[in-house]
């Protein structure tokens, strides 16, 4: 399993940039695509053969609830894991990228443990490994099934990928999905896989900053773009399609409603595109409920993810499951149930 934060269609657009403004970025994007495409092809073949990570059995309770972080340095090569440069309880080093990865992994562990009662991505407190300085000007970050991997960015369009906590939370959440529902990374189940990672990426950031729903940006990857780009982030959960609008890299193509659903074979059936629809449903539900989003809407989404969800669940199936989780947790006539139902209806997903 390999899930990257920057979608292939955005890298392709950057790779086509022909002016001097983003010349180095175009070359870096081409290298990133050449690196990613073979791995993406392998993943697609695995999907066709039905190969995926099976959901875990119930976790065994452990007395050790501390994080176990190790950060490695790939030295701008693509061999993993790289050289170990910082381990749990060690002092900060003279590399901001290493320290950001270490701190970000700790924030994610704290969020899942304290807010959701889950120890690490597998529920058994598996070590959290991250590799920085992957590749040369590599324009992405990804979860490879066992670790986080961060590129440094090209310096023209993207800065370093460790700088965004929502990116680290997003990628680690792919590991949570891998070890629970195992949502197939294709079509609507793949878009849900991406959306769930955006949900928990946003919640990790809000939890760490102590932000209530109405004070949050609801942006994923805020700060990744350099000042040369007309854009706020990779995605906006609250307003899909508005995260960036630049004359070179184009406009954010995410739909915010089922009326704009994109049927395509690219991007594994539009997993990064159509994830905007469930993203907005969650953000609307969280804002309707107010307060800390991780305490109400977040626990409903987590209960849905860990409650025996089929691996090829579509939007209607997931929406229905979140409504059922809200009823189970809070009751039929609860504000939580009403907010979840209205959130889905507002984006055109009506499940009866």
pLDDT digits (tens, 9 = 90+) for 200-247: 999 999 999 999 999 999 999 999 999 999 999 999 999 999 999 999
Rg of the chain (C-alpha set): 19
pLDDT tens per residue across span 131-186: 999 999 999 999 999 999 999 999 999 999 999 999 999 999 999 999 999 999 99
**Which residues touch 296 (CB under 8 Å, ≥6 apart)?**
286, 289, 336
Mean pLDDT across the stretch 312-318? 98
pLDDT at 325 over 90: yes
Q: Which domains does the chain have, with CATH numbers?
A: 187-346 (1.10.390.10)
Mean pLDDT across the stretch 266-281? 97
Mean pLDDT across the stretch 61-83? 90
Give the catalytic positions in this structure.
171, 272
The pTM for the full model equals 0.93
Amino acid 43: pLDDT: 46
């Amino acid at each position: 399993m390999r899930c990257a934060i920057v979608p292939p269609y955005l890298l392709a657009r950057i790779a086509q940039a022909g002016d001097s403004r983003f010349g180095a970025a175009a070359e870096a994007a081409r290298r990133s695509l050449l690196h990613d495409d073979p791995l993406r092809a392998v993943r697609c073949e695995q999907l066709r053969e039905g190969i995926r990570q099976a959901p875990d059995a119930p976790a065994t309770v452990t007395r050790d609830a501390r994080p176990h972080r190790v950060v490695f340095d790939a030295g701008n090569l693509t061999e993993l894991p790289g050289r170990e440069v910082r381990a749990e309880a060690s002092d900060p080093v003279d590399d901001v990228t290493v320290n950001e990865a270490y701190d970000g992994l700790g924030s994610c562990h704290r969020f899942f443990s304290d807010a959701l009662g889950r120890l690490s991505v597998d529920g058994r407190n598996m070590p959290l490994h991250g590799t920085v300085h992957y590749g040369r000007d590599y324009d992405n970050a990804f979860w490879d099934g066992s670790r986080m991997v961060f590129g440094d960015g090209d310096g023209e369009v993207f800065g370093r990928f460790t700088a965004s906590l929502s990116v680290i939370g997003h990628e680690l959440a792919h590991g949570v999905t891998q070890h629970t529902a195992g949502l197939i990374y294709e079509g609507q189940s793949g878009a849900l896989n991406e959306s769930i990672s955006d949900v928990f990426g946003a919640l990790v950031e809000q939890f760490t900053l102590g932000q209530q729903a109405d004070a949050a940006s609801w942006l994923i990857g805020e700060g990744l773009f350099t000042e040369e780009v007309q854009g706020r982030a990779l995605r906006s959960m609250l307003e899909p399609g508005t995260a960036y609008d630049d004359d070179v890299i184009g406009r954010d193509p995410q739909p915010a409603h089922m009326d704009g659903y994109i049927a395509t074979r690219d991007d594994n059936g539009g997993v990064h595109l159509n994830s905007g629809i469930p993203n907005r449903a969650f953000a609307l539900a969280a804002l309707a409920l107010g307060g800390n989003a991780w305490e109400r809407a977040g626990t409903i989404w987590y209960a849905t993810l860990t409650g025996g969800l089929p691996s090829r669940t579509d939007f209607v199936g997931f929406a229905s499951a979140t409504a059922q989780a809200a009823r189970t947790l809070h009751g039929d006539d609860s504000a939580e149930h009403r907010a979840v139902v209205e959130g889905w209806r507002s984006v055109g997903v009506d499940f009866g």
